[in-house]
Structure 1
Amino acid sequence: MSPNGNRMGGMTDQVNATDFLISTKAGIRNLAFALTETATPELRATLREELRNAVETHEQISNYMISRGMYHPNDLGEQLKLDLQITDTALNLADKQ
């Protein structure tokens, strides 16, 4: 639950954080690929800096999620439980609409 007792508020926070994490991972992959395809030293330097920033952002998001019990990258069993709980919640919400 979120601090105000609203379960959906907490779920929204988790959904937003998860979406941000996934987007950041995609950005890291895209930047790394672009870096390998770049011909000019100046553009390579820019992409390296953006890649470094993206990796730092990923770390911050991961730490945020881990500290709030939203993400368990080192415990697959816990992550599976969490993923199943989120799936059940999403299915229940869909059934109510």
Structure 2
Amino acid sequence: MNPIIENLTGMNALSDQVVAMDLLISAKSGVRNYAFAVTEAGTPEIKEILTRHLVEALDMHEKTSAYMAEKGWYHAWDTNEQINLDLKNIDTALKLPTL
């Protein structure tokens, strides 16, 4: 998005939040996929490699979720707060001018 439009609409911080959430969702998907792959590994060597990748994916998820929590963008342990944040973001998105 154009930086001028981002500042006028207040979307500059929300853009960062959207990118971070996309990264978090990708990290969760990676964890799930590696965990599944570990259980299907055909050899101990492949299982070891996939397990290392799983640990790295878990680390990425932890770092991303901690970053988002620090910024106030993710409330994993407070469902009501997360729902309120999601509703606020939906309201902001609905108020964006159409181009």
Is this a same-fold pair by TM over 0.5? yes
Tell me, what secondary structure is at the counterpart of 1:59?
Answer: helix
- List 4+ stretches of structure 1 deviating above 4 A: none
Question: Using the alignment, how far apart are the partners of 1:90 and 1:33 within structure 2?
Answer: 35
Letter in 2 for 1:9: N
Distance 1:27 1:92 in 2: 33
Q: Which AA in structure 1 matches 2:24?
A: L
Structure-1-length-normalised TM-score = 0.89
Identity in percent: 49
- Could you tell me how far apart the structure 2 residues matched to 1:36 and 1:75 are? 32
Matched, 1:72 2:79: no
CA distance in 2, matches of 1:33, 1:41: 15
Query: 1:58 aligns to what?
Result: 61
Structure 1 residue 9 displacement after superposition: 1.4
Question: Could you tell me which amino acid in structure 2 is paired with residue 27 of structure 1?
Answer: G
Q: Does 1:17 align with 2:17?
A: no
Alignment correspondent of 2:30 = 27
1:89 offset after TM fit, Å?
1.2
Give the deviation of 1:40 after TM superposition. Answer: 0.9
**How many residues align structurally?**
91
State the SS of the aligned residue for 2:72.
coil
For structure 2, the residue ranges without an aligned partner over 5 or more in a row are 1-6
Higher relative contact order (CA 8 A, sep 6+): 2
2:84 to 64, 81, 84: 81
1:44 and 2:47 correspond: yes
The normalised TM-score by structure 2 is 0.87
CA drift of 1:72 comes to: 0.5
